């Protein structure tokens, strides 16, 4: 299990690399959704997602250990974060991405100095390749979620939220491999055990929901959810025990609900959010997480989306 001390130490390691992201509020959305909700704006984070928190912590530790090269397996956001931090610290990076990776995310990885390699469509295919490259090239593999340094880094978002909204009642977090939610659980439950933490997972990628139901890590096959950053095939060996012990609940979000939440946030707040980043907000919008009268924070985890894809999902006829 990760500890609050590890999260606090991570905060010291990464504070000069990351942004402290704001909480955003929309009276218009509150009225439409019938919920008092704020958004933890990780789409405004450096490299466009929360992933830089864990990456900064892990790559910093790798560099301190003498590493000159790091590798990662990523659908995009983790890869961008690792490439960015590696460049900042003077390291080389190789990022293994899926064959259907977002062109915008691949372009960003390259812009941050990362070398890109394509492999398969699932994390089960990408991760062994990234590990193999690290071994062949004498580098260090940086996992996307299942590592103590990653979990601790992501947990710094939890510290910020309870400082920014001391009277928060509920935090809703998107769930993929579990690095973000396990880090937030570690931080929040240590300092504010009264605050509820709920996970939101795409219904088409419900490996965590199945694992919780069966009380053991359960793998699923490849998924085509539009929330490409949450297309994990199973929870992590380290993240799942944290989620199992500390999580207050998990809800499933449908594809159309993701699209509707993207539309609402774009129209009402003028914020560009990727499908994976809006899953927690979609759970609130659909009435699946949070109740009237609660102070709710929904984590917007990322904003790296291709404009043509964004426009295609939000058809002009659907824009209010």
- Of the candidates 65, 117, 59, the one whose C-alpha atom is nearest the C-alpha of residue 91 is 59
CA distance 105 to 77: 7
Residues in Cβ contact with 199 at an 8 Å cutoff, skipping those fewer than 6 apart: 172, 173, 174, 175, 181, 208, 243, 247, 249, 250, 251
- For residue 96, count other CB atoms closer than 10 A to its CB: 27
Predicted local distance difference test score (pLDDT) of residue 55: 98
Q: What percent of the chain has pLDDT over 70?
A: 98
Predicted local distance difference test score (pLDDT) of residue 316: 53
Predicted local distance difference test score (pLDDT) of residue 225: 94
**Both tokens assigned to 278:** 């809006």
CA distance 63 to 61: 5
Model pTM? 0.93
DSSP symbols for 14-74? HTTTS--PPEEE-HHHHHHHTSEEEEEEGGGSGGGBTHHHHHHHHHHHHHHTT-SEEEEE-
Runs of H (alpha helix) within the chain: 4-14, 27-33, 51-64, 77-89, 103-111, 123-137, 148-164, 179-191, 207-214, 239-246, 255-269, 279-285, 307-313
CA distances from 91 to 60, 70, 71, 84 (A): 10, 7, 10, 10
- Residue ranges for the chain with pLDDT beneath 70: 316-320
- Of the candidates 37, 7, 26, 5, the one whose C-alpha atom is nearest the C-alpha of residue 269 is 26
**How do residues 90-117 score in pLDDT, each as one tens digit?**
999 999 998 988 787 788 899 999 999 9
């Amino acid at each position: 299990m990760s500890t609050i001390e590890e999260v606090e130490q991570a905060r010291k390691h990464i504070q000069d690399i990351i942004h402290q992201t704001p909480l955003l509020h929309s009276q218009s959305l509150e009225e439409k959704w019938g919920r008092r909700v704020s958004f933890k704006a990780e789409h405004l984070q450096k490299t466009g997602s929360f992933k830089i928190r864990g990456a900064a912590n892990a790559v910093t530790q790798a560099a301190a250990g003498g590493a000159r090269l790091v590798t990662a397996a990523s659908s995009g956001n983790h890869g961008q974060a690792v490439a960015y931090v590696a460049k900042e610290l003077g390291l080389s990076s190789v990022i293994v991405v899926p064959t259907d990776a977002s062109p915008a995310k691949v372009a960003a990885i390259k812009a941050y100095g990362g070398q890109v390699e394509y492999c398969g469509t699932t994390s089960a295919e990408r991760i062994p390749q990234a590990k193999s490259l690290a071994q062949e090239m004498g580098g260090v593999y940086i996992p996307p979620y299942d590592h103590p340094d990653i979990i601790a880094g992501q947990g710094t978002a939890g510290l910020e939220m309870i400082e920014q909204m001391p009277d928060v009642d509920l935090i809703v977090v998107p769930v993929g491999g579990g690095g973000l939610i396990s880090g937030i659980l570690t931080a929040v439950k240590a300092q504010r055990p009264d605050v509820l933490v709920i996970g939101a997972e795409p219904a088409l990628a419900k490996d965590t929901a199945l694992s919780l139901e069966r009380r053991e890590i359960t793998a699923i096959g490849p998924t085509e959810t539009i929330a490409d950053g949450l297309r994990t095939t199973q929870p992590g060996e380290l993240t799942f025990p944290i989620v199992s012990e500390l999580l207050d609940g998990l809800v499933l979000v449908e594809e159309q609900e993701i699209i509707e939440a993207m539309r609402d946030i774009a129209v009402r707040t003028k914020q560009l959010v990727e499908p994976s980043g809006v899953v927690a907000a979609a759970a609130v919008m659909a009435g699946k997480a949070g109740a009237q009268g609660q102070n709710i924070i929904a984590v917007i985890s990322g904003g790296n989306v291709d404009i043509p894809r964004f426009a295609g999902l939000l058809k002009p006829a659907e824009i209010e």
